[in-house]
Amino acid sequence: MASLSETARRVRKRIMDQVLAQGTCPKVAEIARELSLPKDQLEPILRDLEAAICVAVQKDTHARLDYFQEEKLHEPVPEIGEIFYARPFAAFKNHYSIWVDGEQKWYGECAVEACSVSAMFPGREVIVRSVCRQTKEPVELIGRDGVLLDYSPKTLRVHLGFPLRYMFDDAIGWCDYNSFFGSEDAVNQWRKSHPEIKGITRDPVTISNFVSIIGNGRLDYNYQPTFPLLTLLRHPGKHGLTKPLPGLGWHVPDPFFMPTPHMLLEMRRKGYRSFFRFRLS
C-alpha cells in the first residue's frame, strides 16, 4: 500500500487548518502559492488525497449546482478544479450546518459523515442540524469525540445511496444520496419517486461506528484510512456491515460494503493509488 508523500501531508494540513479554524477551504491557487508548488505538481497530489478519502475535487458533474441533495443552494459551489469536500466537511454552505459550542461556521459533507464529525473537535460538544430529505422536518444530532450522545427524531435513519464499490467512480457523486430521513416510512415514500437508487439505511449510531473506523486519526498529520481487521470481523453488525436474512433473523455480510474487482479497476482507470492501511486490531 502506498503512503502519502510529505508534500501531500503538508497540503492536507494547509487545507484542514483553515477548514477547522475558519470553516472555509483555501483555493487551489492559494495552496500552490503558499507551499511553492507548481500546478502540475499539485494536481497529482490532490488526486492522491482524493484516493486517500481526504478530499474530493470539483468535476464537471457537480459544477454550477443550484441544488444539493434536493435542497436549494444560496451560494455557488466551488469551481471546477477546486476542493469540493475536505472530508468530513463540505467547502460550501449546505443543509448540514455544524455547531461547535454554540458557534456555527462549518458544513458537513453528507449525512454519513455528519454522524461522527464531532471527532474533529476533541472535547467539545458538536451539534449537526439538517432536514429529512422526504418530509423536510428538522434533524439534529449531538456528539462529542466522535460518539453520538443524542439525536432526533428517535426514528432517524441514515440512507446510503451507492455501494462502497462505486466510491471511486465519482468521488463527489458517491455522497449525493447519503441523506437523513426522519423514519423508515419516509425513506420508503422517497424511494417511490427514486426507484433507480438502490440504497440501504442504518441507524445513526451504527453509521457513527462505521465512520469512526474510516475517520479514526483524521486530525493526525500522517492520516491515512486504516482498517482494524479483527475489530471488523468480530463486530461487523456494530459497524453496519451485515444484513438480516428475510424471515430468519440471521445476519450475513452485506455485499453493499464489500470491495469488488470493479472498485480496483476504477481506481486504476482514474489514476488512484491505494492509500488504505490495515492492522489486526
* Residue at 19: amino acid letter: V
The yes/no answer on whether domain 6-276 falls in CATH 3.30.450.410 is: yes
Q: How far apart are CA 263 and CA 229, in angstroms?
A: 19
Give me the long-range contacts of 216-219 (CB less than 8 A, separation at least 24). 216/119, 218/87, 218/88, 218/119, 218/120, 219/16, 219/119, 219/120, 219/122
- How are beta strands 200-202 and 251-253 bridged, if at all? unpaired
* DSSP state letter for 228: E
* Series of mean pLDDT values for 10-residue runs along the chain (281 residues): 95 98 97 95 97 97 96 97 98 98 97 98 98 98 97 98 96 97 98 97 98 94 95 95 86 94 95 95 85
Segment (H or E) for 237: none
Neighbours of 123 (CB within 10 A): 7
| Predicted local distance difference test score (pLDDT) of residue 247 | 76
Domain segments of the chain: what residues?
Answer: 6-276
- How are beta strands 147-152 and 138-144 bridged, if at all? antiparallel
Scanning the structure block, which residue is given the C-alpha cell 502506498?
2
> E-strand spans in the chain?
55-57, 67-68, 71-72, 83-86, 89-90, 97-100, 103-107, 126-131, 138-144, 147-152, 157-160, 179-181, 200-202, 226-228, 242-244, 251-253, 277-279
What are the backbone dihedrals phi and psi of residue 46, each rounded to the nearest 5 degrees, phi first? -65, -35
**Any idea of the CA torsion for 133, 136, 137, 143, to the nearest 10 degrees?**
50
| Predicted local distance difference test score (pLDDT) of residue 121 | 98
Contact 50, 272 (CB under 8 A): yes
| Predicted local distance difference test score (pLDDT) of residue 103 | 97
| Predicted local distance difference test score (pLDDT) of residue 110 | 98
C-alpha cell at 188: 420508503
DSSP 128-181: EEEE-TTT--EEEEEEETTEEEEEESTT-EEEE-S-GGGGGG-TTGGGTT-EEE
| Predicted local distance difference test score (pLDDT) of residue 281 | 85
* DSSP state letter for 278: E
User: Does the pTM of the predicted model rise above 0.85?
Assistant: yes
What are the backbone dihedrals phi and psi of residue 159, each rounded to the nearest 5 degrees, phi first? -100, 130
Neighbours of 124 (CB within 10 A): 13
